[in-house]
Amino acid sequence: MTPIQLLGLIAVLAIVRVAIGIRPGIPVSSGADAPGRPSTRTVLREYLDAFIVAGLVALLLITFVVRTFYIPSGSMEPTLQIHDVLLVNEFEYKFTKPHEGDVVVFLPPVVTSNDFIKRTIGLPGDQLRVHNGVVYRNGVAMNEPYTAEKPNYELQVRDYGIYVDGNPLDPSAANIPPRSMWSAPDRIPAGFYLMFGDNRNLSEDSHIWGFAQTGGVFQSGQVKGQKASFTGHAFLLFWPLNRVRILR
């Protein structure tokens, strides 16, 4: 087990310990004479049993449900900083769809050996535009207190593509589905998402490589025909300790 996995196990163990309320037995009165206080050995054994149970549950969770990731770049600053360590729920998107604002780990449509982490901004069926530094989703300006600065580019989903500064992203380099997959020329197709880094102007994201996908294969671009997926939802920043908090 790597140090990051060990940290993840400790974090999950703490969560499980609190969530299921494992604790040693507390004597209660039945109305008869009160029993004597339990011995130190008994108390220690009960704590040890509780710790073992919680540890086994945590190990199962971190093996099959939760995974640890660390942040190698500044593309999600200020929300996530370099060397932050996260817990990612790999089970959630098997049953639910990503929501607007989720911080997601996913396979990007570029040649890389690593998953990417970005924020979900545009959902299937959405109209989306970036204008004068403001993101408009379905015509409504988004409130984005998590961003480092306003984007210095213009972007719009229209005419069956993603236009950046007035020019369409090239399907030979970006993931743009064919027209047959679009329900309307200005609405994000089913199964496709626009992902932005919180550090908008220093993030390699959808304004460069097009749409991310929850499944299937990439429709165009560098890795056309290769598997696409969302790895999971990042829900907890747990290292370093002075930055521990729940993520959306």
Q: Which residues does the annotation mark as catalytic?
A: 75, 118
Give CA angle at 191 (154, 63), nearest 5°: 110
Helices and strands (H and E) in the chain: how many: 3, 14
Alpha helix locations (H) across the chain?
3-19, 40-64, 206-209
31: Cβ contacts below 8 Å, ≥ 6 apart? none
> What is the residue whose two structure tokens read 């996995």?
5
What is the distance between the alpha carbons of residues 78 and 146, in angstroms, rounded to a whole number?
7
Q: Are 220 and 72 in contact (CB under 8 A)?
A: no
